[in-house]
Structure 1
Amino acid sequence: MTPHTPAGTTARIPDAALSQRRVLRVLVASQVLSGAGLAAGVTVGALLAQDMLGSTGLAGLPSALFTAGSALAAVTVGRISQTRGRRPGLSAGYLAGAAGSAGVIVAAVLDSPVLLFLALFVYGAGTATNLQARYAGADLAAPGHRARAVSTVLVATTLGGVVGPNLAAPTGTLAEHLGIPALAGPFILSGLAYALAAVVLAVWLRPDPLLLARSLARAEEGRTATATTTPAAPDEGRRGVVLGTLVMVLTQLVMVAIMTMTPVHMHDHGHGTAASGLVIAIHIGAMYLPSPLTGRLVDRHGRMKIAAASGITLLAAGILAAAAPGDSVLLLALALALLGLGWNFGLVSGTAIITDTVPLATRARTQGLVDVSIALAGATGGMASGIMVAATSYPVLALTGGVLSLALLPAVVATTHRR
């Protein structure tokens, strides 16, 4: 009976720390799997559509569809998490991603573009869930360690994200042996990886981090009467949400637009799936691998400085991608690495800004809505990228994206001056 005594409030603090370590371990395992599912589909989605439709102008449509699908999934996962916890929300999202992967394979076998686009829309749930998992890592983290907790979850995606694209060629060979078009092969890996990630979370993500965080917050309410005066004022809170959303929306828009058309650009210059898979693998690695360092930088030097660094890094990526010769795998890989790094800076700093600003009572729902904006930005970037390349060229697309990312700087400066 003693564990339930009033004095147990202080005894819960070690339990929260232990639970946070367990939560991070489970999230890391699921992110490794989901990273493979995410990266495999990104590698060949545009090529599969181009092969089916025979048009470069619509090659960005798959990216637009699965990022639009991720917008719907972000709302759904956020609402489920808000009412029932992170475990059922994230598990449901990954199962939807697995179902979408299976649909892509069927569409490829039937040579049905309509079914392909519907399946890619559902497949986007995996992308949304992969991103939503970072919030689960921060639920139980202390305010001064939130960025590092987010980065721990993000970096786990690296292993799967690097392995997935490099399995594009072997899974294509396996698909051909099974009577499936080679370009649909990576979606076999995606479906399996997403399904396993759902199982890992459903079985082992206990206690649920969001539900435990709420319980701990309720326990603290009785002890700290002044706690209700601590959160930011409404105007400042709204500014924080707007800034955090803007940082992540712009970085997602620029990143998706350039990334989507890079495999098509390389294919048009005679490179095979192995070369484009390598470049995308380097890009995915740069998106997630620097996360521990980024988390420390954000916690130590502040959210605003790293958000500004994101815009500058994306500009450098756009300039290099525009200047790189089409036959230079090395320079394209370097440009995509900078593109991934700039995205990482924006995602970690933006996530920390949102988590700091939003109260726990509405956190999951607000985070889901924020990720809808991110997904829509990705859909816009993916759709516009193919049209822009068809109308102009890949270098024009890359340079435009780099210049657009500079919009982050005045937003950060304005918010800093208000504070």
Structure 2
Amino acid sequence: MLYYLFEYLDKTLDIPGTGVFQYITFRSALSFILSLLLSTIYGKRIIQFLQRQQVGETVRELGLAGQNEKAGTPTMGGLIIIFATLVPVMLFSKLHNIYIVLLIVTTLWMGTIGFVDDYIKIFKKDKEGLKGIFKVFGQVGLGLIVGSVLYLSPAVTVRQDTTRTNIFKAQTENITVQAPIEEKSTVTTIPFFKNNEFDYAELLAWTGDGYQKWAWLVFIPVVIFIITAVSNGANLTDGIDGLAAGTSAISVFALGIFTFVSGNIIFSNYLNIPYIPSSGEMTVFIAAFVGALIGFLWYNSYPASVFMGDTGSLTIGGIIAVLAIAVRKEMLIPLLCGIFLVENLSVVLQVTYFKYTKKRFGEGRRIFLMSPLHHHYQKKGYHESKIVTRFWIVAIMFAILSIITLKLR
């Protein structure tokens, strides 16, 4: 909202200094600072409110050191992340931007699913929470919305590899470039390949002429799958103090670099990546989101004063998935969100191997001492803070590898 106010002051009254709000970098910095302040200052009040409502975590008997001491710690701390993200976004972003609208919808949608799940666990005393089928319906519903909007909205365009060009003069630089014409497209990028643009529509080329109009049959299911997988991955990673928030902040920061360069005509031409008009505005949202996650760590670092619960973890996963899809970097998710992937795989491998050995040998056997993977290291005697710090280091390595795909092909 402040963006529109300062735009009016700049264009109508020509007040010196008000034009600075036109810069994404300036608004992103303000978003980060405000979200960090909101999450650290008002986070304590939200925690106190949760304590008064007796919103305490019920700890399962897992035989892990220090686990019983966590009983009664307030959960639903994801409300801090959501609050500290949305307030700066409402103040500093262009609310008419299609990508900002999608991200706000994603935050509220996934936050609601997670909140209902936490509410059932805490107040209905049902440890299973919201039934899995309803969670999946919610994730699929969001995937349908996001996929349909990205496919159908005329505001969502991508630079095409074509000889047709428009003369474009950058607003903030005295530079004139020839920009390829932007069109509707289901193009994405494949990391580490030189000619790395891939169009989902090509998967239907075997159907004959006019196959492009059926691209939604591939694109929308892919969006649904990614949102479901990443949100569940974030949910599984939220198992020990500071793990999900810290690794997510690292991944989201890397996505912020992708959104900034993809939405900038000069950088995208230099790096030879798809230019996605208006996508740079997502940088403002990302700055607020990263600030909220770091501020949440103030209270979630070991020993945690609050847990994010499904309210936070499902929201985090949904936002990361939508950001990656919107900036056409969804194929980087296995690397960028490598921690989520490893955590997911550890559970899948553990369950699959246990069932296989039980059927074949009559006794279930395990690959890991416990899954997800972070619990395996807890069982081995590593302290929570050491596990979390090392997972953060690995997440930083994954993020750096993801960023260098901009040039390493």
TM range (shorter): 0.3 to 0.5
Structure showing greater radius of gyration is: 2
Higher helix share: 1
Q: Which has the higher contact order (CA 8 A, sep 6+)?
A: 1
Q: What TM-score, normalized by structure 2, do the two folds share? A: 0.33
Q: What TM-score, normalized by structure 1, do the two folds share? A: 0.33
Higher strand share: 2
